[in-house]
A and B are shown apart, each in its own frame.
Chain A
Amino acid sequence: MDLSEKLAVLADAAKYDASCSSSGTEKRNSLKGGLGSTEGSGICHAYAPDGRCISLLKILLTNACLFDCVYCINRASSNVRRARFTPEEVVTLTLDFYKRNYIEGLFLSSGIIRSPDYTMEQVTRVARLLRVEHGFRGYIHLKTIPDADPDLLAEAGRWADRLSINVELPSAEGLKRLAPEKDATGIRHAMAGLRTRIDAARGAAKDARGARPPRFAPAGQSTQMIIGADGADDARVLGTSHGLYGDYRLKRVYYSAYSPIPDASSLLPPAAPPLVREHRLYQADWLLRFYGFSVAEILAGGEAGMLDLAIDPKLAWALKHRAIFPLDVNRADREMLLRVPGLGAKTVGRILAARRFRAIRMEDLARLRVPTAKLKPFLVTADHRPRLGLLDSTDLRRLIAPATSFAAATQPSLFDA
């Protein structure tokens, strides 16, 4: 099999992992040698027609695998064509792509072959070759294998910017049923181990005088949860995320709508991926991390443990808490303004700055580029007050929803696009 055939197979095998981020690591450049740089914010070098960012060369070292995870195209019992890169081939591809500015770096994962230790050693070897032999200073994300020897994980963290272990499913029961070889407790244990090392390296770097202490995954750890493969509702998903952010200080939890694969198992027949649900979960995740919402508050916007698919979770929350509104944009504090549908953290900052100079009017809001149509029912400005009863009216949702929903109100069928 030649290199281009391997690349076709091993890129195809990697596409179900959603994380492709290259952000949040230390600053590096190649002014004193080596190749590459990282400057904090990630860069998406291309977008595929699925709308996803292509930042890293995201491939598997091999798609051969001993595990038989039902949702995975690479599971042991799948009929998919198998391939395997040598570590040197991955190094060459990464450098050739990087020099032409196609990518920020490498995201390397692998099917489990021989043993977790052997596989982890192979994956780590690629990163070591890039860093040591070739002075590569771009971004490296390694998928880590929970059962691998802690010394191997320590070495992986030395070369990688980010490490990740996928929890795969929101619940331990789901994992047991669909990924029999994986062990939820072991995954948590490994995440805790990574957190300890990441925190220790960060603390040591802060206290260091003179020589720099060894680095360990400066861009932290992340994970992925598959949505819609098991029966978990949004309450379960968000509760799990909340726990993961708190317990292991994850940088990101990625949500990946279970997507039909070419060689599906009879336990999980192919169906349309729940893309809108995935989108709403990302929005909810954002509210959780940056807007001071609790899981319970977010869920209060939906029904029976599920988010409202038709409108975003912040609007859904506001519609169920109409008594709080309208807020006076000239008097409300930051925390309350962050609860207004359509106001982001940046715009709230600008509103607070602008109102020191004047009483804010609708035209000022328009100048700050906020979606005024969406805001109108919820805000009082110097020249606007929502008409009496509007907030109580039963069709408020209908009045604003069409203008605001990014995704179609209902899950589009697979063949609409």
Chain B
Amino acid sequence: MPDAISVVLDEPADLAGWRDAARALLRARVPPGSVTWSVAGDHADLFGAASPLPPPIAAAPAVPRQFLHLAERAIQHGDPARFARLYDVLWRIAAGQRRLMEDPADPTIAALNVMVKSVRRDAHKMHAFVRFRAAADNRFVAWFEPEHHIVAAEAGFFVRRFAALRWSILTPRACAHWDGTAVLLTPGARREDAPAEDATEDLWRIYFAGIFNPARLKPGAMMSEMPKKYWKNLPEAQAIPRMIAEAPGRVRAMIDRGATPPAAKRQAMTRWRPQADGGVS
């Protein structure tokens, strides 16, 4: 076995860099077991510097489109094993398993599918749980903590939705900013870099409390879709413990009260005849 080759990628979700390296490795017939993958800045001392890639001895193989779709999402996963898993699949396709991508029960494909699912969920939760706060200069700024390396890929969703606004999404590892014409990506930020509050959040909390039905309390169902790890960045979540605690008492009060007699002053019954808006403001 040749000496291990160390590939150091520029960014955690650097698909182009990974693809260039993988193609060169394949053309040099370097087997998956002889490659270590890392990202610049992560554990640099552990793996040392990048090795020069060996010279090509074969042509680059054709890569199925399904593989590229898988790689695009899998490479955003936080697990460092993603690079090696992807190379393993590519290696086996080049070695003749042309239909490998069509086999969901292959252990590596199955593992990559699980990664993709986790990245997709993270992206979906980012679309859902980013909360912008109004900042100076008519900007909207959000602080969010994704699990995987998805900020660059998901900026487009917020551009399509909020193209007319000026916004920034700050996260610990990367930030995306929109100025109306282009997305600017910058390194990670701190929570304190985003505004600490927004007056509209009071209304949002009133809505959140009002739409909750205490007679249907199901905190488990809520938690499986909105796990606690997200709560610290959701303005409405502060109220959840109190809402849960008060629910049984509210329901008991309803049941104990039983039926109530009809209102003394029933809503006006002049059904189809237009009338002035009386009584209701």
Take A101-B130, A261-B254, A358-B105 as given contacts and tell me if A96 and B200 are in contact as well, using a CB distance cutoff of 8 Å: yes
Binding stretch for chain A, among B25-33, B50-58, B81-89, B270-278: B270-278
**Is B130 a contact partner of A115 (Cβ separation < 8 A)?**
no
**Is B105 a contact partner of A99 (Cβ separation < 8 A)?**
no
Which residues of chain B are within 8 angstroms of A65 by Cβ–Cβ distance? 267
A10 to B210, CA, bound (A): 8
Which residues of chain B are within 8 angstroms of A206 by Cβ–Cβ distance? none
A29 to B209, CA, bound (A): 30
The minimal Cβ–Cβ distance linking A256 to chain B, given in whole angstroms, is 10
Task: Using CB atoms, name the residue of chain B closest to A272.
Answer: B215
- The answer to whether the Cβ of B142 comes within 8 Å of any Cβ in the partner chain is yes
Partner of A49, one of B128, B201, B222: B222
- The answer to whether the Cβ of A334 comes within 8 Å of any Cβ in the partner chain is no
- The answer to whether the Cβ of A1 comes within 8 Å of any Cβ in the partner chain is yes
Partner of B222, one of A50, A57, A66: A50
Partner of A76, one of B211, B259, B267: B267
- The answer to whether the Cβ of B185 comes within 8 Å of any Cβ in the partner chain is no
| Complex interface bits, A28-67 against B, C-beta within 8 A gives 1, otherwise 0 | 0111011111010001111111111110011100101110
Partner of B105, one of A16, A262, A360: A360
The minimal Cβ–Cβ distance linking A163 to chain B, given in whole angstroms, is 21
**Is B251 a contact partner of A260 (Cβ separation < 8 A)?**
yes
Take A49-B222, A115-B271, A358-B105 as given contacts and tell me if A100 and B281 are in contact as well, using a CB distance cutoff of 8 Å: no
Task: Using CB atoms, name the residue of chain B closest to A352.
Answer: B104
**Is B255 a contact partner of A66 (Cβ separation < 8 A)?**
no
A142 to B225, CA, bound (A): 26
- The answer to whether the Cβ of B129 comes within 8 Å of any Cβ in the partner chain is yes
Per the 8 Å Cβ criterion, residues 232-271 of B in contact with A are 234, 236, 240, 243-244, 247-248, 251-252, 254-255, 257-263, 266-269, 271
Which residues of chain A are within 8 angstroms of B127 by Cβ–Cβ distance? 43
- The answer to whether the Cβ of B124 comes within 8 Å of any Cβ in the partner chain is yes
Take A83-B281, A354-B103 as given contacts and tell me if A415 and B208 are in contact as well, using a CB distance cutoff of 8 Å: no
- The answer to whether the Cβ of A324 comes within 8 Å of any Cβ in the partner chain is no
The minimal Cβ–Cβ distance linking B87 to chain A, given in whole angstroms, is 20
- The answer to whether the Cβ of A414 comes within 8 Å of any Cβ in the partner chain is yes
Which residues of chain A are within 8 angstroms of B257 by Cβ–Cβ distance? 262, 264, 270
Take A45-B128, A99-B162 as given contacts and tell me if A259 and B203 are in contact as well, using a CB distance cutoff of 8 Å: no
- The answer to whether the Cβ of B279 comes within 8 Å of any Cβ in the partner chain is yes
Which residues of chain B are within 8 angstroms of A227 by Cβ–Cβ distance? none
**Is A8 a contact partner of B132 (Cβ separation < 8 A)?**
no
The minimal Cβ–Cβ distance linking B274 to chain A, given in whole angstroms, is 6
- The answer to whether the Cβ of A410 comes within 8 Å of any Cβ in the partner chain is no
A417 to B250, CA, bound (A): 13
**Is A49 a contact partner of B207 (Cβ separation < 8 A)?**
no
The minimal Cβ–Cβ distance linking B109 to chain A, given in whole angstroms, is 9
Per the 8 Å Cβ criterion, residues 203-233 of B in contact with A are 203-204, 206-222, 225-226
A1 to B279, CA, bound (A): 12
Take A48-B222, A49-B247, A78-B263 as given contacts and tell me if A93 and B203 are in contact as well, using a CB distance cutoff of 8 Å: yes
Which residues of chain B are within 8 angstroms of A289 by Cβ–Cβ distance? none
A271 to B255, CA, bound (A): 7
A209 to B48, CA, bound (A): 61
A266 to B212, CA, bound (A): 24
Which residues of chain A are within 8 angstroms of B128 by Cβ–Cβ distance? 43-46
**Is B269 a contact partner of A64 (Cβ separation < 8 A)?**
no
Which residues of chain B are within 8 angstroms of A16 by Cβ–Cβ distance? 213
A82-B280, A257-B216, A273-B216 known, 16 other contacts, Cβ within 8 Å: A8-B210, A9-B210, A31-B160, A37-B161, A45-B128, A46-B234, A77-B262, A79-B260, A99-B140, A260-B251, A264-B257, A266-B259, A360-B105, A368-B110, A414-B215, A417-B247
The chain B residues found within 8 Å of chain A, CB to CB, are 99, 102-107, 110, 114, 124, 127-134, 140, 142, 157, 159-165, 198, 200-204, 206-222, 225-226, 234, 236, 240, 243-244, 247-248, 251-252, 254-255, 257-263, 266-269, 271-275, 277, 279-281
Please give me the 5 A-B residue pairs with the lowest Cβ-Cβ distance, nearest first: A51-B221, A11-B210, A51-B218, A77-B262, A354-B105
The chain A residues found within 8 Å of chain B, CB to CB, are 1, 3-4, 7-12, 14-16, 29-31, 33-37, 39, 43-54, 57-59, 62, 64-66, 68, 76-79, 82-84, 93, 96-97, 99-102, 113-115, 118, 181, 257, 259-273, 275, 350, 353-354, 356-358, 360, 364, 367-369, 414-415, 417
